[in-house]
Structure 1
């Protein structure tokens, strides 16, 4: 397996070096640059053309990035605008769903939003890097919980109302379950779940693309800008 080229951006030296060593020790990642500012991140992404950039949400300021406290997300948007083949992983200490929604505002492909405590879970981190490098998307389960807890009625309604059963399916989808896992959780057949999932994608006007993209996009589309409510899960996931 060829190593993926990664540019790492983190303003705290010890965290940056620790993360760099953790990634390189996996044998799957070549950290081609480890930088401490948003300006240096943008420059490294432009010059080195990595497969993925991984950035903290907050970085020392940049002349071209004006939102204080959102430098990493702003840099991610600029990198994706300039080079849509570069994946971005934003690491954050904030589980507030609004930060994730900002990252995904222009689409979900090639983007991941993880909480910083995932850095210690190398499998989770490598999985996110591989996913965005392939054009996929990842959102931290804790942030999904925040999305599920959101309450509000403003914004435009979705193109078509989801049925109660489709809401059940979307709720389990938001927790990362496969179709088989959703079927076990809801005591339905896999074929029935597939029909509900396809109906959700159709009603939310999500174009055909790998399921990883559309599953995250479905959660973002329904729970994010439209601020609809998915009822909380009734019990532990049996699947």
Structure 2
């Protein structure tokens, strides 16, 4: 697929370029800051833009750049990379959009298979969240959401954790070695216990379920 990269760390940038090319992706361009990436993609759209969260022109320049790119190219996928799994970053990322977007740790995308799987899912419109962050959000609930979390069964917490990673129902069923029908039942229970609106689309309700935990984590911190 066609990709572009903005990363101010020269060593990591070169390594990621090599990995992308080894995976057979077409790298349209590579920049060291967000402004240059926006200029590059003005007339050369890509399937997915890869951005370092902490880069020029601001401390969190990747987030600002992504807002500009999503406004100009709504169908473009966005993959954020960082050395740290921070819930406040994820809240801001999901405020930019809930389709075709991802947040992964740099150390976790160091293989062709993992990187290509992440890019493909984002290109196809999925949300891809770093598993360690997704698990942290559901395993260590805090604040006013504690009572809600206590009402979820252990299996429902597992399902919610995989939902937070952006897994499909079929992907969750495969991971947990259960039927897809069982997964659908667990998700319905989660939606009910979290009090999510029945008139929302299934995809929207999945995002709301994840945001419930993201916001509780942010409010507590």
Is this a same-fold pair by TM over 0.5?
Answer: yes
More off after superposition, 50-59 vs 171-180: 171-180
Change (3 A) 1:192 1:150: closer
* Shift of residue 183, structure 1, vs aligned partner: 5.8
Q: Select the structure that is richer in helix.
A: 2
Instruction: Give the TM-score of the pair, scaled to structure 2.
Output: 0.80
Is residue 33 of structure 1 aligned with residue 29 of structure 2? yes
2:133 is matched with 143
Aligned mate of 2:20, from 20, 23, 37: 23
Aligned mate of 2:47, from 31, 40, 51: 51
Unpaired runs of at least 5, structure 1? 62-67, 229-239
Instruction: Give the TM-score of the pair, scaled to structure 1.
Output: 0.74
* Shift of residue 112, structure 1, vs aligned partner: 0.2
**Quick one: distance in 2 between partners of 1:199 and 1:44?**
46
* Shift of residue 47, structure 1, vs aligned partner: 2.1
Q: Secondary structure at the match of 2:202?
A: coil
Aligned mate of 1:11, from 5, 8, 18: 8
**Quick one: distance in 1 between partners of 2:18 and 2:205?**
33
Q: Secondary structure at the match of 1:11?
A: coil
Kindly provide the CA deviation profile for residues 30-53 of structure 1, in whole angstroms up to 9, marking residues without a partner as x: 000010011111112222111110
Q: How does 1:166-185 map to 2 (within 5 A)?
A: 168-175=155-162, 178-182=172-176, 184=178
Across the two proteins, how many residue pairs are aligned to each other? 205
1:236 is matched with none
Q: Is the 8 A contact 2:196 2:205 kept in 1?
A: no
Kindly provide the CA deviation profile for residues 189-212 of structure 1, in whole angstroms up to 9, marking residues without a partner as x: 653332221343464345134xxx
* Shift of residue 227, structure 1, vs aligned partner: 4.8
Q: Is the 8 A contact 2:159 2:187 kept in 1?
A: no
Q: CA RMSD in A?
A: 2.8
Unpaired runs of at least 5, structure 2? none
**Quick one: distance in 1 between partners of 2:137 and 2:212?**
10
Q: Is the 8 A contact 1:170 1:219 kept in 2?
A: no
Q: Secondary structure at the match of 1:90?
A: strand
2:91 is matched with 101
More off after superposition, 145-154 vs 13-22: 145-154
**Quick one: distance in 2 between partners of 1:74 and 1:16?**
19
Q: Secondary structure at the match of 1:54?
A: strand
* Shift of residue 20, structure 1, vs aligned partner: 0.8
